[in-house]
Structure 1
């Protein structure tokens, strides 16, 4: 296993597929039997709350960071081996939070799970910079568009100032016939190119279907690319990671008998509820 177990998934701007990347990396590793926690570290513009179908009085990371709840109270079981720690969506709740408490949250989850993914907010603020320094490594997500690449440079600089380390770049919505060199984009940012995620219609379909892409269309090119990325980050095999649609037909049902994540505070969201919730959670794609 890789020694890096806490990853901050970050982007310079919204709308580049950051949450999609977070959810699919986590799901791919959970399918491989790894225990995974996804944390919505975007405290001001939370988008994972719907992922676990929260009710208005549900406990969230906001409650934890305001000192009114434990991390167990805000941990929700999604399916086998994967849980989510969502942030709240209310402005009043956000105003009461202390971002510094995220240090203790990450330390706690690091001890209990094999991998922790922090879905970091875009922009420049203390709550955005803090997770970049708490993670073992930062995965930078960007589309090939110049504006997104330009903003990625800012995130690289913020990571350096926070004392963090960028693992590399993931370029989403790539096209085989594009005249853009994705390797050149990574070189311009002076960071390794970790993966390119093909522009796949199934990605958006999976959002509206309320299912992570690696489950919704496991044989597709984008799902294969996410599985390959998960395998590379973790240094493990996560089923067939070939990105070619015809060659990526390996079923991942062998993982269905993996032990479920334990914890008295982890509550399983109903499948039908999650179906509509992921659409809301993935709104930055």
Structure 2
């Protein structure tokens, strides 16, 4: 098993699939029986809040960084073996946060989970650079387009300034038969190529289904690429799903898990916290919430 357990998932350019990579990598690790925490450290443009159908008074990472709550109070179960720590969406809450508190929060999560994935915001600011140095390693996410690759180079430079280490490059939305060599792109950036995730119609379909791709279409090419990435990072072998089966090994559709976490009096087995909000009256409502969150994440990512 790799000694690296905390990864920052970062990109210089928005819209390259960073949050999609975070969610699917985390789900694939959870399917393998690893305990995973996904943390939205994009404090100004939170994307993961919709995954847990937060009520206005729900505890988020903003509360933790403001010193008003412990990180376990802002942890919400998505499915078996996987939880999310969302940031808040209010500007007033954001103004009260101190990004420096992220160091302690990540340390607490590191002790409680096998893997912690930090979904880092795009751009250059203290709050986006800080996670690059807190993680054991940084996963760079980019498409093969020149502008995205150029911005990836900036992220590499920022990581070096933050004292962080680069794990490698994940190229998304790649096209089979393209003249672009993915290995050459990684070589130009002087980083290892960890994965090439091909363009896959099922990826967009999974968004509207409100389900991570690796659970929605586990036999598809993009899902297979995310599973291989998870296996390589964890140093384990993952079995390919049987044809026609949608066996998520406990990491079921997120629309089902939202019901688990937002039913009155339901106690989270992962965190021990009880969520007293009752915001999941139906699978359809949960799916809509998650679908909207993923769509927003992809557009703002």
For normalisation by structure 1, the TM-score amounts to 0.92
Report SS of the residue matched to 1:158.
helix
Counterpart in 1 of 2:270? 262
Q: CA deviation at 1:134?
A: 0.5
What is the CA-CA distance between 1:254 and the residue it aligns to?
A: 7.5
Alignment of 1:60-209 (within 5 A): 60-209=60-209
Deviation, 1:208, is: 1.2
- Residues in 2 aligned to 1:257 and 1:215: alpha-carbon distance in whole angstroms: 8
Aligned to 1:244: none
Shift >4 Å, 4+ stretches: 266-273
Distance 1:137 1:45 in 2: 23
Q: Distance in 2 between matches of 1:266 and 1:155?
A: 38
Once the two structures are TM-superposed, the CA of residue 52 in structure 1 deviates from its matched residue by: 0.8
Q: For residues 16-56 of structure 1, what are the alpha-carbon distances to aligned partners after superposition, in whole Å with 9 as ceiling and x for unaligned?
A: 00000000000011111110000001001110000111111
Separation of aligned partners in 2, 1:200 and 1:162 = 34
Aligned mates of 2:156, 2:94 — CA distance in 1: 26
Aligned residues: 278
The equivalent position to 1:279 in structure 2, one of 291, 294, 298, is 291
**1:224 corresponds to:** 224
1:199 and 1:168 map into 2 onto residues whose CA distance is 20
Alignment partner of 1:184: what SS? Answer: helix
RMSD: 2.0
Deviation at 1:252, TM superposition (A): 6.6
Aligned-pair CA distance for 1:68 = 1.1
Pairwise CA distance, 1:240: 1.6
In structure 1, how many angstroms separate the alpha carbons of the residues matched to 2:270 and 2:197? 32
Q: Secondary structure at the match of 2:46?
A: coil
Secondary structure at the aligned position of 2:105 is classed as helix
Question: For the residues of structure 2 that align with 1:129 and 1:250, how far apart are their CA atoms?
Answer: 42
Query: For the residues of structure 2 that align with 1:257 and 1:30, how far apart are their CA atoms?
Result: 6
Aligned-partner Cα distance in 1 for 2:176–2:105: 41
- Structure 1 residue 250, shift from structure 2 partner: 8.3
Deviation (angstroms), 1:232? 0.5
* Structure 2 Cα separation of the partners of residues 27 and 239 of structure 1: 14
The answer to which of 120-129 and 265-274 deviates more is: 265-274
The change in CA–CA distance for 1:161 and 1:217 in structure 2 (over 3 A counts) is same
Hey, what's the Cα distance between the residues in 1 that align with 2:297 and 2:35? 25
Do the aligned residues in 2 keep the contact of 1:29 with 1:238 (CA within 8 Å)? no
Q: CA deviation at 1:195?
A: 0.4
Q: Compute the displacement of 1:72 (Å).
A: 1.4
Task: State the match for 2:263 in structure 1.
Answer: none
Unaligned runs of 5+ in 2: 253-267
Task: Give the Cα separation in 2 of the matches to 1:257 and 1:140.
Answer: 25
**Aligned partners of 1:254 and 1:140: how far apart in 2?**
26
SS of the residue 2:109 aligns to:
helix
